[in-house]
Amino acid sequence: MHGSEAYRESFYQAVIIGQLFVLLSWFATAQSTGGQGSQMPANELVRHVIANELKAEQQDQSHWSFRLEIQKPNGQNEVNQVVETKDGDLKRPPMINGRALTAEQQQKSDKRIQQFVRNPAALQKSLNETNQDAVRSQRLLKMLPDAFHFTYGERRGDLIQLNFMPNPSFHPPTREAEVFHAMEGSVCVNGKQARVEEISGHLIHEVKFAGGLLGHLNKGGTFDVKQAEVAPGYWELTLT
């Protein structure tokens, strides 16, 4: 995978995994309350909670300020202070390559933010791209009951392990779904708060796009995602 195509594929996977976190939180809630989740087959329960998850996502109007650190393949780190707004996300780097910004770099960063404030069209473009990614992730959510088989794993204190594997009879209709369906792994759920703390897994086979002409993902590629309660009742991703 090369250039912007590789970046977008990685971003889509991050969005997919983030949406899977929220869905599995609903799954854990139904199981821990001893309600119909204890009577319903796991995949049927997933089908039932998808409608609830999509509704909750539409109702969430919260915005956050956070520090985003990206580790690049060349060993350099990119750090940004991000402020979410209803019109899009504003980013300002507090440091570049581990060093505080020079006066000139600070001036350029401030000028860029002011340009967004005076001309929000560029910010709106970024927001539109984010919304399009959200639509993709919602389509993938609806595929979950058909794409995967869910089973219970070990329980360690308050942590409940859930294992997932692809459903061999499912045929991915899109490129994103093809990557999604190639995953196998487990999640750790906090049973006391009914939230997902970590998801980890790997690609169980190589994924090629257009026979490899547009790129590919290697078998054995791994991922690890964590989330935590950042405020009472609000959980956000802390590591992808």
Condensed to tens digits (0 to 9), the pLDDT of residues 216-239 reads 888 988 878 888 888 777 777 788
Number of structural domains, the chain? 1
Contact 47, 141 (CB under 8 A): no
Which pLDDT tens digit goes with each residue over 71-93? Answer: 877 777 788 888 888 888 888 88
Confidence of residue 1 (pLDDT cuts 50, 70, 90): very low
- 65's CB contacts (< 8 A; 6+ apart) are 81, 82, 83, 84
Task: Give the whole-number percent of the chain exceeding pLDDT 90.
Answer: 5
Which of these, 13, 14, 62, 27, lies nearest to 196 by C-alpha position?
27
The continuous run of DSSP H or E covering 212 comes out as none
Q: Is the pLDDT of residue 53 over 90?
A: no
Instruction: State how far the Cα of 143 lies from the Cα of 157, in Å rounded to an integer.
Output: 31
Which pLDDT tens digit goes with each residue over 188-206? Answer: 777 676 677 887 889 998 8
Which pLDDT tens digit goes with each residue over 131-178? Answer: 787 787 778 778 878 888 888 778 888 777 778 899 999 999 888 888
In sign, the C-alpha dihedral spanning 204, 16, 19, 181 is negative
Q: Quote the domain boundaries for residue 156.
A: 3-239
In sign, the C-alpha dihedral spanning 127, 129, 130, 132 is positive
Question: What's the pLDDT score for residue 161?
Answer: 77
Q: Is the pLDDT of residue 127 over 50?
A: yes
pTM over 0.75, yes/no: no
Instruction: State how far the Cα of 78 lies from the Cα of 60, in Å rounded to an integer.
Output: 28
